[in-house]
Structure 1
Amino acid sequence: MKAIFVGGAPRSGTSVTHALLCTAPACNDYHPEISFVRPLFESYAVGMEHWGAHTSQFFKVPEHLRQHLSKLVMQSMSLIWRVQKQPKVLCVKDPLLTPNFAAVKALMEWPTQFVTVLRHPHDVIRSQQEVYTRSGVKMGAVEVYRLATEYVLSYAHVDDPDLAGSVFHFRYEDLNQEWLIDQLRAFTGMGGINPAEIWNKGKHEPSEKERANPFFSPKYHGAIDTSRRFEPLDPQFQKIVNEICAPLMERCGYKSDGSVEAW
């Protein structure tokens, strides 16, 4: 029994990655985000951050805090495992949990791996802009600055020494490449990952309510498609994103004009 957490910035391709991993026979069906568990992991990060000022008044040593929250986390994760028909590999996702993957590692009692998907930040912010539009909200420079900052924070865990050997990260733009699928199979130990079967386990036709959700994408429940759906991000927004995300963009082969280097 082990757990795999799928992460990445919101709108980076976490849903399709989760659905892909769930094609493996050893894994559960694709299912919604585990957002209700996120506060438990976040509370450990907050508790440790404020250990000297606050948390130490309630626990003698940090290990006692970890044990306390670990029990709560494992109760919730065990519930998810049972609801998902007790798979050999429990694969879950919640993009907003990604910055706290170190806390996840600290609290989980099962062997745990992390699969993290990156996507060109121009496309991530542009997709988030579409969510804003569908929600009836106009996105401005302030929101772009915040979202770009959150984008960078979503990938800080990739180089965390406490997670060494537990994280596999890749580019969304390469998701339809067979060499990447092979690497995912090797990392997760799930040789049955099959792109041709994506979304088929537990398949259902999206309801009108699901389609009306601002976060819904027409790419859901279809074959893997990494092509762009929207026109390029506005130049003034591109400038903000490039300034904030430059180091990560250079590392991943993401160019300032929105293009992607072939790997």
Structure 2
Amino acid sequence: MMSSFVQQTFRYDRQLKLLGEEGQKKLKSSVVMVAGIGGLGGTAAIYLAAAGVGKLILAHEGTIQLPDMNRQILMDSSCIGEERIGTAMQNLRRINPEVEIEGYNDKITYKEAEPWVNGADIVIDARYDFPERYELNRLCVAAGKPLVEAAMYGFEVSITTIVPKKTPCLVCLYPQISVDWEPLGFPVLGATSGLAGCMAAMEAVKWITGIGKPFMNVMHRINTLDMSSYTVAVKRNLTCTCCQG
């Protein structure tokens, strides 16, 4: 039988060619929080688990519903009506039993999520509504933790990495909640949310291992219908009520 060390090396053989042993060790010792494990966050969690992060902290409330199944690839049709978080944790352990999984059947509130954010090295925001995204942003600013802000709507994906005191925070970018925002029932194609999730996972891997250049101080957007994309520079709001305190 393979030794544990040899087995681990063999599992990550393909990416060791890219990250090197030092990069893989950094992943192994890292803790990533994924807020939301639907189509976007669930995809990010899958690839982070497959990559061999040491620990995943997951948060998502509620039960699996049939309309989730067009995009939430961590879920299982046989578990409709059951808690999302339990199914997600079970499926992630099947993908990589070496990863420690911690899960919470909760929304993001400041009080509940504070220890989760404090315990993470980097946070991925994959929540579907702005109130929870603002709470997560406030927590990351207070804790000084980087936040991968990934989102999609219809066929468009957007992503930026927020680093407190170095980049604009979410409130800098969106000072007010749009009155036109529809928190539930917005249009989603699974492949679009999956692309956003893959990009978010890549941002976390880059941050943890030090390879490449994270999307800091820029917002990157992709229209998946024609694969056009653009990147715009973003700046901190010097009067921001969140990150300038």
- Which TM-score band (shorter chain)? 0.3 to 0.5
TM-score (norm 2): 0.33
Relative contact order, higher structure (CA 8 A, sep 6+): 1
Higher helix residue share: 1
TM-score (norm 1): 0.31
Which protein is bigger by CA-based radius of gyration? 1
